[in-house]
Amino acid sequence: MLLSKSCLYGVRAAMYMATLEQSEYVTIQQISEKLNISFHFLTKILQTLTENNIMVSYRGPKGGVALAKPSKDIRLIEIVDAIDGTHIFSECIFGLPGCGNMTPCPLHGEWEREREKIRRMFSDTTLAMLADKINVFNLRISDTDSAPINAKLLKSLTITHRKRK
């Protein structure tokens, strides 16, 4: 797995919050239920996200967590960085320590190109972009979420396309 479970949970929680796009606080309880993640575990993960100024939290009734910035200003890589660290995107494919361009391993060239693309994929994607896609196409975020792809929309798109011929 490229990303740790903790990181995945953090990303999915952030994605979920972005789809709500409301200014109120959301309780971790609600998020954990919606995404089917252990409440206590998610709590700890979101703690590190608030420590890293990606989210803000508020205690007491009507409290919870919220995104610290508009979702269009939060990039996937920030979340990954906070939880797993960005070394993932600069790591040697063979796990050799102290690796660099001076003593490259045989696959260095290709791997460097690929991991850079992956890194860019994470740094180019904002939460808003993901939330849009999720809302428009009704994509799933959770593993138990029963929400299938928006069948009606998909069908209409297909038909429209066919009629054009």
Partner DNA sequence: AGCATTTCAGACTCTTTTATCTTAAAATAA
Partner DNA sequence: TTATTTTAAGATAAAAGAGTCTGAAATGCT
86 or 125: whose CB is closer to a copy of itself? 125
Contacted by 125, from DNA, ligand SF4, a copy of itself, none: CB < 5 to 8 Å by type:
a copy of itself
Q: Compute how many other C-beta atoms are within 10 angstroms of the C-beta atom of residue 52.
A: 14
Binding residues for ligand SF4, total number by CB under 6 A? 11
Q: Which residues pair with 56 in a beta bridge?
A: 66
Q: Is 157 in the site for a copy of itself (CB under 8 A)?
A: no
Query: Vertex 81, ends 48 and 15: CA angle to 5°?
Result: 70
65 or 84: whose CB is closer to ligand SF4? 84
Q: At closest approach, how far in Å is the CB of 50 from a copy of itself? A: 22
Cα–Cα dist 137/130, whole Å: 11
Site track for a copy of itself across 98-117, x = CB under 8 A:
x---xxxxxx--xx--x--x
Closest by Cα among 42, 15, 8, 10 to 134: 15
Q: Strands of the chain (E only): list them.
A: 55-58, 64-67
Please give the residues from 129 up to 148 whose contact with a copy of itself meets the rule CB under 8 A: 129-130, 133-134, 139-143, 148
Q: Is 107 in the site for ligand SF4 (CB under 6 A)?
A: yes
Query: Residue 99: helix, strand or coil by DSSP?
Result: coil
Binding site for ligand SF4 (CB under 6 A): 92-94, 96, 99, 104-105, 107-108, 111-112
